Amino acid sequence: MKYAFAKGCERFGYRLIHFSVQRNHIHLIVEAPDEVQLGRAMKGLGVRIARVMNRAMARKGQVIAHRYYARILRTPPEVNFAILYVLHNRAHHIAREGWPLPPRYEDPLTSEGTRGHDPPLVASPRLWLLRVSWPGQA
């Protein structure tokens, strides 16, 4: 999966800014100039993920079962909420299941948990809204 993110974090006119890999889905925060570029990027990323997963499981076929859901974020509070949701989604699920959460838990399957990975798995934001909405991103 890391390979798919590293190779696809800046392709087809889009930029992958944050991600969270869950058990049966993935959350992404991306920049894209328009719907066409976003669609191409999502298709390309889906193909990369499918190749990696199929190779790991020694199988063939479709991995991504459903089309992505996109929501345009328009204000700094919306962006902050979305980023917090993406980065802390696993902790939310752990707490909901009643399992104890380790102190200072940092999810290793998020863009924050893989910071410093070489090659980088995410791109730095270019759009003003993502740069000002989340500390330490500029």
pTM recorded for the entire structure: 0.79
Residue 136 maps to a domain: no
Residue 138 lies in a domain: no
Whole-angstrom distance, CA of residue 49 vs CA of residue 111? 16
C-alpha dihedral sign at 137, 79, 19, 46: negative
pLDDT (mean) for 49-63: 85
Q: Would residue 110 count as lying in a domain?
A: yes
Domain count, the chain: 1
Distance CA 74, CA 89 (A): 21
Q: Kindly state whether residue 7 falls inside one of the protein's structural domains.
A: yes
Q: Does any domain span residue 64?
A: yes
Would residue 93 count as lying in a domain? yes
CA pair distance 78, 56, nearest whole angstrom: 36
Instruction: Tell me which residue range forms the domain holding 37.
Output: 2-129
Strands 14-21 and 26-31, how do they pair? antiparallel
pLDDT at 84 over 80: yes
Domain-located, residue 63: yes
State mean pLDDT over 17-22.
88
Could you tell me if residue 134 is inside a domain? no
| d(C-alpha 46, C-alpha 65), whole Å | 10
Reply yes or no on whether the pLDDT at 136 is more than 70: no
Backbone torsion region of residue 136, taken as left when φ is above 0, otherwise alpha when ψ lies between -120 and 50, otherwise beta: left
